[in-house]
Amino acid sequence: MKTIIRLLAGSFIILLSLIIFTSCARNSQSSGKYNSFHPGEIWLDNNGVAINAHGGGILYENGIYYWFGEHKIAGKAGNVAQVGVHCYSSRDLYNWQDEGIALAVVEDDSTHEIAKGCILERPKVIYNAKTGKYVMWFHLELKGSVYKSARCGIAVSDKVTGPYTYIHSIRPNREAWPVNVLDIHKKPYNTDANAAFTGGSLPGHPDTLNILGRDFAAGQMSRDMTLFVDDDGTAYHICASEENSTLHTSALTDDYLATAGKFSRVFVNRFMEAPAICKYNNKYYFIGSGCTGWLPNAARSAVADSIMGGWQELGNPCVGPDSALTFHSQSTFILPVAGKEGAFIFMADRWNPENAIDGRYVWLPLEFKDGRIIVQWRDEWDLSVFDK
């Protein structure tokens, strides 16, 4: 019996040691000890909890980066908004502090536009110097509408970390024609375009169906989206529109709270989503993906002299193992690294629809070579790759 007790005691000590070791390692990682990126691995915040900011974007201000993203929960239901938009802050991009929920879904009113159970995706935040407000845009699908609403949600805050006050949702560019409108768009639209199409195809060309004309009065569709602020302070909203067949690039009003009615149709009939934009040497660079639902596909890239187009496609920018699947991820944002000229980070998500909270982040350095952009796989890397 004593031998059994000694064995049990020894086993308990070993187990306790493992628990203490794991806890110490976890706390070490989460207390400012990261000094490199590990794409696709679990990434802990200052509390030792996995970062929960999917489909996100980053705002840089006064030496601090603020990461906003979708807060997911375990299981398939995590792909429907149950909590809201999470915010984290960092001074070095490796170590992140939990700043809490910046925008919470509404739990006590099932009719609210951002009621718990709506679809709230790809939140992005920009600062408006004229109004002193932080402005958040996101793709919104009203509760129960699945992906038929295709709206933009807009919220504001006086403080970067929030809480953000929800204003309303819109269909962008209501009763406005794009700068590159065609004559066919101003004619009666094809009745086939009354249908709500899904997937990465249509029964005809979007111009023949005239989906643009169909949505002229109510406003254009907006699904996967991003925001970009140019050097002159003009902000742009870039989104998948026309049943995902075509991207729309829209200038925003001076207060960043609405589209200004000036927009262009780009990548017509190319079925692009997950748009991400950066500017380098006075040229605009784009990374996006095809439309394959939660499944990864080959990334797409393009370059243009104007953010309104026209864009020259450059092919898949990814290089390395599984580059044909964007390293099993999908683009969400291109982050300029403060203080490092020409340094950008490609941010992507590894979606896990069976357990949304376990979606991982793939951050990789973006390189410019011979007029193209390159994203090379690295198991581990740090910001010294940008040193010249």
Q: The CATH number of the domain where 143 resides is what?
A: 2.115.10.20
Q: Is 319 strand, coil or helix?
A: strand
Please say if the pLDDT value at position 272 is more than 90.
yes
- 120, 69 Cβ separation under 8 angstroms: no
For residues 49 and 352, give the distance between their C-alpha atoms in angstroms, rounded to a whole number: 18
Q: How many domains does the chain have?
A: 1
Cα 67 to its chain centre, rounded Å, is 10
Tokens of 374: 């390159």
Give the model's pLDDT for residue 366.
98
What is the pLDDT confidence band of residue 10, given thresholds at 50, 70 and 90? very low
Q: Which pLDDT does position 16 carry in this prediction?
A: 34
pLDDT class of 194 with cuts at 50, 70, 90: low
The stretch 102-114 carries a mean pLDDT of: 97
Q: Examine residue 227 and state whether it is found in any structural domain, yes or no.
A: no
Question: What is the reported pLDDT for 193?
Answer: 64
- Domain-embedded: residue 125: yes
Q: What are phi and psi of 13, to 5 degrees?
A: -65, -40
Q: What pLDDT score does 386 carry?
A: 97
pLDDT-derived band of residue 247, with 50, 70 and 90 as boundaries?
A: very high
In the chain, % of residues over pLDDT 90: 87
What would the mean pLDDT of 101-125 be, rounded to a whole number? 98
Residue 351 has pLDDT above 90, yes or no: yes
CB contact burial 197-221 (16+ within 10 A = b; e otherwise): beebebeeebbebbbbbbbbeebbb
Which of these, 321, 314, 322, lies nearest to 296 by C-alpha position?
322
Note whether residue 145 is domain-resident: yes
Q: Which pLDDT score is estimated for 200?
A: 78
pLDDT band at 15 (very low <50, low <70, confident <90, very high): very low
Gyration radius of the chain over CA positions? 22
Share above pLDDT 70 across residues of the chain, in percent, rounded to a whole number: 90
Q: Do 102 and 68 form a contact (C-beta atoms < 8 A)?
A: yes
In this predicted structure, the answer to whether residue 186 has a pLDDT above a threshold of 90 is yes
> 331 burial class (0-12, 13-18, 19+ CB within 10 angstroms)?
buried
The two tokens of residue 211 are 């989906």
Task: Report the phi/psi class of residue 257: left, alpha or beta, with left for phi > 0 and alpha for psi in -120 to 50.
Answer: alpha
Q: How would residue 30 be classed by pLDDT, with cut points 50, 70 and 90?
A: very low
DSSP state of 381: B
Range of weakest confidence among 89-98, 115-124, 159-168, 198-207:
198-207
On the question of pLDDT at 34 being above 80, the answer is: yes
Say whether pLDDT at 1 is over 50. no
Average pLDDT for residues 206-211, to the nearest whole number? 94
- Residue partners of 15: CB distance under 8 A and separation at least 6: none
For 108, counting Cβ atoms within 10 Å of its Cβ (0-12 exposed, 13-18 middle, 19+ buried), the class is exposed
* 222 close to 152: Cβ distance less than 8 angstroms: yes
Q: How confident is the model at residue 174 (pLDDT cuts 50, 70, 90)?
A: very high
Q: CA dist 206 to 202, 212, 296, 310, 346, Å?
A: 7, 8, 24, 18, 30
Contact call for residues 52 and 71 (beta carbons, < 8 A): yes
Q: CB-based contacts of 175: which residues, under 8 Å, 6+ apart?
A: 216, 217, 219
- Is position 327 within any domain? no
Pairing mode of beta strands 372-376, 318-319 = parallel
pLDDT at 18 over 60: no
In this predicted structure, which of 19-28, 202-211, 308-317, 318-327 has the lowest mean pLDDT?
Answer: 19-28
Query: Cβ distance 134 to 160 under 8 Å?
Result: yes
pLDDT of residue 198: 67
In a domain, 237, yes or no: no
The pLDDT of residue 32 is: 61
Q: What range does the domain containing 127 cover?
A: 36-170
Question: Please, what is the average pLDDT of the chain?
Answer: 91
Query: Which range is least confidently modeled, 3-7, 29-33, 289-293?
Result: 3-7
- Whether 74 is in a domain gets the answer yes
Compute the distance between CA of residue 280 and CA of residue 299 in angstroms, rounded to an integer.
19
pTM for the structure as a whole: 0.91
147 within some domain: yes
pLDDT at residue 197, rounded to an integer: 75
- Listed range (33-42, 105-114, 194-203, 289-298) with the worst mean pLDDT: 194-203
Contact in structure between 122 and 276 (CB atoms under 8 Å): no
User: What's the confidence (pLDDT) of residue 29?
Assistant: 46
For residue 160, tell me if it sits in a domain: yes
